[in-house]
Every structure is written in C-alpha cells, then in structure tokens.
Structure 1
Amino acid sequence: LKQGGHSTTRSRVLSTSLRGATAIEAQRLGIKPDTELVVVQRLRYADGFPLSVDCAHFPAERVPDLLEQPLGGSIYEILAVRYNLAPASSIESIEVVSANPREAAWLEIPTRTPLLAMTRVASDADGQPFEYSEDLFRADRVRLVAKNTALAERESLGTDGRVELTVTA
C-alpha cells in the first residue's frame, strides 16, 4: 500500500504450515493433490486498522525455505529476490462472503459482516502457477479499481482513505 511512496501496511503472521494440497488447491496450482504446500496466513493492517486476512499457498519445492524468511513484509519481494519468482500473469475472482466468528475477531467486525473475498492464482513467465491466494478484505475499507496493465501497483490509498485494490483487467 503506497501513498506518496510510503508503505502504510504491516502484516502479522497468524499461522504457517507445510501440508499436502487439497483437491481444489492442487487444481488451482496445476499440481497433484497431496503435493507439499507452504501455507502462510497473515492479518494485514492499513493505517493501524485490520484490513484483510490473507492465506497464500505455494508449492513447497518452489520456495524451499520460505518459512525461515521474515514474513511480516512483502512476500512478493521475497519470492522475487530469493526464488526468482515474479507474477507474469494472474487470474483473480471476487465475491462477497460473510465473516465467520474467527475472521470477524481478527478483522474486529461483527460476525456475518460482508467481506470481499478475492482468490488469485499467480503464474510465472512460463505460465506455471506458483501462488494460490485467498484474501478476505473488510468491504468497508476497500474499493476495487480495474486497470488494464500488469505492472500496476497492487494497492494504493484513495483520497477518502479507502484502500484501492488494483484488479488487472
């Protein structure tokens, strides 16, 4: 999240795990079910407010020691610098869901509050998927902006204080 070049987001790691891929995760990542995944779940804050619960899944063989890296900052930066992984393309889907009690507690909102659920599959230059993400955003704090460029800054702060999420068209 950048406003005048300053990052105003921080992340708190909620959980990390190394486990076999479910059927859905395997299908999204183009791998066999039970292939080992690194899963990182984080709570992200913008200007001190909880903004989103993000759950990212990576095939373990592509990110061998990811869980030993500092995961409070930009995971994409670690992916690029350490593993030479950069998203050349991504497919995103967006829907409205209701916060369950655990998500509501993390995001400091009432249970069943509407959330914006975004799932993303990011692929490298060879078209190989390397990340499957499920992100839940507080709908009262974000706005979606469609831009037809792959290099758009992912998040920025709108003039009214809402976080603007770029959805590449």
Structure 2
Amino acid sequence: MKRTKRKYELEIDPFACYKMESVHNESKENFESTDKWLYLGANARDSEFAKVGITMGDLTTRSSSSESPGYYLFCAFKCRNNIARSQLEGIEKSALNHLESLFTYPDGSTKRALHHESERISECFFDVDFLDFFGELHYYLHKNYCNYFLLSAFGNEPGFDEGEFLDCEFNTRMSRDEINKHIRMILQ
C-alpha cells in the first residue's frame, strides 16, 4: 500500500502576512507528505487478527509479511508532518495499552499476543472483532490525539458534511463503496 504524492494546489495570497504564509506552508507539507503513519494491519486468512504499528517512512515497508502472506495493511492514519518519532511512539504505546484493556478474554487475560521466544508483548491481537477493533482504534486516536493527525471531512451527495475522521489511506484493493462504508463507521 502506498500513498501517491499529491500536489497541493492552493496558492497563497501574495498579500498574506507571515502568519498566513506559515499556515499555508504547514498545510502544504502535511498534504504532500507520504511519510509518518499509524497503521492497522489485517490478515486475509484470519479475520480476527489485528496489528497496530507505526512508520516514519513509506507504507510499502509495512504492507506485507514474508512469514504471513495473508497479512496486509487495512488502513493507515496520516500524521502531521512535524510529529517527532518519540511522539508517534508514545501515541502507539498508549493506543496499544488502551486496546489491550478492551480486548480481553472472559477470564480477563489479554488478546494481545506475545512474541514466541522473548515472550515480550507484541503489536498483534488475536480473536478480536476486526471492525470493532478498527472503530475503537479510530475513536481513541481521534478523542485523545487528533492534533497529531490530519483530519478529513466526509460529505454526502447534496454536499453536506456527515462528520470528520482522521485522514486515512485504505488498502487499494478495496472498492470506493467499501471505503465509504468504513469511513461512515468512524465518523465523529
């Protein structure tokens, strides 16, 4: 999965003050950037699998797994261009801890997987309702960290906004109808 670099078409007013120029330049950098993501991975062979991760680079480096050919990026939330690695790592850790507290077995044990050899906690969850997981992740990020992500509005045919969501790149194998269905699930 790769986001194509898009050209920022808005021109700045030649009479704009330095503050307006700064806002324009920041918007341009955010819009054109193809780096800095928090992503949600899925597995075509296991509909109850989810993985949360981050990358400061291109999404294609995270969109496959040699040991699990069914793995793919379901979606990726676009971070602001000026986010620091430490901030993104902190957001990821916080989101993972939150999801771990929600997605548990009836006995209270976590659905978050451990690495086999080290037994350290991983970014992967098993036995989860994937779409519920997706919704919870988006809600948590939007509620607690929306200032670190780009926001998008979602409008219907007559041109009325239905709500906003974190700017999200969905897997390219999804149809526009599927993407719209998923966006409607997470509108705030």
Q: Same fold, TM exceeding 0.5?
A: no
Q: Which has the higher strand share?
A: 1
Q: Which has the higher helix share?
A: 2
TM-score (norm 2): 0.24
Q: Which has the larger radius of gyration?
A: 2
